[in-house]
Amino acid sequence: MKITDAKVFVCSPGRNFVTLKVYTDEGVYGLGDATLNGREKAVVSYLEDYILPCIIGRNPYDTEDIWQYLYRGAYWRRGPVTMSAIAAIDMALWDIRAKCAGQPLYNLLGGRTRDRVLVYCHANGTDLPHTLEEVGRYRELGYRAIRVQSGIPGIDHTYGVAPAGTKYEPAIRAGLPDESACWSTEKYLAFMPRLFQAVRDRFGEDLLLLHDGHHRLTPIEAARLGKELEPFHLFWLEDLVQAELQENFRLIRRHTTTPLAVGEVFNTIYDCQQLISEQLIDYIRMTIVHGGGITPVLKTAHFAEMYMVKTGFHGATDLSPVTMGAALHFDTAVHNFGIQEHMPHEPLVDEVFPHAYHYADGYMYPGDAVGFGVDFDEKLAAKYPYQRAYLPVNRKTDGTMWNW
Ligand code: KDG
Ligand code: MG
């Protein structure tokens, strides 16, 4: 079998997605997600101008050699643009392989190790009463695991919280009002224990509770937060500090038993090798699209398994249904799966990407269709062209630029 062609599609059915379609001489095609939120066109260029010409004529079964060729052969390695582009190709080749085998992808990754995939949703409110209402609403929808983000008294536009009456979405369309966040560590740290105390008081111990700090604390501040939230038994605290320096986590770990999750911005095993081998984290979030594809993320998951670190894949709306489909098959197959993020796409996105996976009662199911079970409606997608959009930024109350 040979790869005969590959095309990149950029569409914006409510938000931007970059989708790769790889065609073969046997009529089977595969899909890959190449979406890098806020930097979409850089990945398009990387694919179209540099690497797609190198894969035409190759045997699509040679996933390992093609991955190594694209990773090593470029000389310039790593980084989100490079790794998202390589990921899209790798995903499409695994999709082709599974379709040719007439099997759902999970059967090529180790088969089923579980019947269903535990997911967590996002409850976010503009203030404490609204956040409690949202947690209650998601609990009614059957979710057992809920990420809780709340507006903080005295801070405008907190991360993860939509302005009143709108839905949270991690991108700002050019020309729309600026929703950039602002930040005060003191106010945040003072409010968090009150928030989780209120959630436990209202809903009891049964819910699995998660929270995302979005890289804003220093290690000692993160240590304090983890320690002060211990009585509320969180499932995890995510991205408390920026993670370029893996040693940061040694200090946090010394002070708290609250489980830690990190890695949605990681691109290779080298971003988390120390975090995993020193058991400084409990969940690794690097997922297929930004981690270079199924080939390397499978190796990372197996490496993490040795150290009892579980997966907890990123699954925000900027990752397309193609990534979600592939991730759910992966989650079904690997033994050290922990949890999967589920931030449902808008109905129009689901129409552009018809898929076999579904949500029911706190869990997701990958479906039994061949490949990832995700398709792409090119005609419908063409009605929604790319729209310039950026991630918000974040400044401290004195104007200092800070991590969003
Ligand atoms: O594009 C960035 C988003 O995907 C990210 O901000 C979402 O932190 C996030 C999460 O945990 O889903
Ligand atoms: Mg996050």
Pair 114, 152 in one domain? yes
Which contacts (CB < 8 Å, 24+ apart) does range 67-73 have? 67/292, 67/293, 67/295, 67/296, 71/292, 71/296
User: Which residue puts its alpha carbon closest to atom 10 of ligand 1?
Assistant: 316
How far apart are alpha carbons 124 and 162 in whole angstroms?
A: 8
How many residues make up the chain in this entry? 404
Q: Which ligand is nearest to the CA of 315?
A: 1
Across the strands, what pairs with 117?
Answer: 364
Instruction: Look up 342 and say whether it is catalytic.
Output: no
Q: Which candidate, 141, 105, 24, places its Cα nearest to that of 367?
A: 105
Torsion sign, CA atoms 91, 92, 96, 97: negative
* Residue 130 Cα to ligand 1 middle (Å): 21
349, 321 in Cβ contact below 8 A? yes
Does ligand 1 have an atom closer than 6 angstroms to the CB of 40? Answer: no
CATH number at residue 360: 3.20.20.120
Domain count, the chain: 2
Q: Whose CA is nearest to atom 7 of ligand 1?
A: 316
Closest CA to 104 of 331, 339, 344: 331
62 and 113 both lie in a single domain: no
- DSSP single-letter state for residue 163: P
Q: Which of 80, 104, 128 is the last residue of a domain?
A: 104
pLDDT of residue 339: 98
Q: Are 54 and 69 in contact (CB under 8 A)?
A: yes
Are 154 and 99 found together in one domain? no
Place of tokens 């914006």: 12
Closest ligand to C-alpha of residue 15 is 1
Residues with CB under 5 A from ligand 2 (ion): 212, 264
**Does 402 reside within a domain?**
no
Nearest-angstrom CA–CA distance, 179 and 185: 19
Helical axes 321-333 vs 294-306, angle rounded to 10°? 40
Q: How many angstroms does the Cα of residue 51 sit away from the middle of ligand 2?
A: 29
Q: Is 214 a catalytic residue?
A: yes
CA distance 135 to 144: 10
Asked if the structure places residue 379 within a domain, the reply is: no
Tokens of 149: 């983000």
How far is ligand 1, taken at its centre, from the CA of residue 315, in Å? 8
Q: Which of 214, 215, 342, 345 is catalytic?
A: 214
The answer to whether position 399 is within a domain reads no
Q: Write down the pLDDT at residue 376.
A: 98
Closest listed ligand to the CA of 343: 1
* Residues spanned by the domain of 246: 108-369
- Based on the fold, state whether residues 166 and 215 are members of the same structural domain: yes
Alpha-carbon span 252 to 146, nearest angstrom: 23
CA–CA gap between residue 5 and residue 60 (Å, rounded): 11
Report the alpha-carbon distance of residue 392 to residue 217 in Å, rounded: 18
Strands 389-390 and 29-33: unpaired
Task: Indicate whether 53 belongs to any domain.
Answer: yes
Regarding whether 257 and 347 lie in a shared domain, the answer is yes
Residues 213 and 322 in one domain: yes
Query: Within this chain, do residues 348 and 203 fall inside the same structural domain, yes or no?
Result: yes
- Expressed in percent and rounded to 5, the helix, strand and coil fractions of the chain are 35, 20, 40
Please check whether residue 243 lies inside any domain of the structure: yes
6, 23 contact by CB (below 8 A): yes
C-beta separation of 258 from 231 below 8 A? no
C-beta of residue 183 within 8 angstroms of C-beta of residue 216: yes
Residues 70, 138, single domain; the answer is no
Residue 159: inside a domain:
yes
- Ligand 1 pocket, 392 CB below 6 A? no
Indicate whether 115 and 252 sit together in one domain: yes
267 lies in the same domain as 125: yes
Based on the domain organization, do 231 and 316 belong to the same domain?
Answer: yes
Query: Does 382 fall in a domain?
Result: no
Examine the domain organization and report whether 93 and 116 are in the same domain: no
At 179 the pLDDT is: 57
**Residue 390 is assigned to a structural domain of this protein:** no
Question: Which residues does 167 contact at the CB level (< 8 Å), separation at least 6?
Answer: none
Evaluate whether 150 touches 134 at the Cβ level (below 8 Å). Answer: no
Query: From first to last of its 404 residues, what are the pLDDT tens digits of the chain?
Result: 999 999 999 999 999 999 999 999 999 999 999 999 999 999 999 999 999 999 999 999 999 999 999 999 999 999 999 999 999 999 999 999 999 999 999 999 999 999 999 999 999 999 999 999 999 999 999 999 999 999 999 988 888 888 777 788 887 766 555 556 789 999 999 999 999 999 999 999 999 999 999 999 999 999 999 999 999 999 999 999 999 999 999 999 999 999 999 999 999 999 999 999 999 999 999 999 999 999 999 999 999 999 999 999 999 999 999 999 999 999 999 999 999 999 999 999 999 999 999 999 999 999 999 999 999 999 999 999 999 998 888 889 888 999 98
CATH number of the domain where residue 99 is located:
3.30.390.10
Would the CB of 316 count as within 6 Å of ligand 1?
yes
Listed in sequence order, the DSSP H helices in 334-402 are 347-352, 378-382
Which of the following is catalytic: 159, 283, 357, 363?
A: 159
Residues 6 or more apart whose CB falls under 8 angstroms from that of 44 comprise 8, 10, 18, 34
One-letter amino acid identity for 326? A
| 3-state SS class at 397 | coil
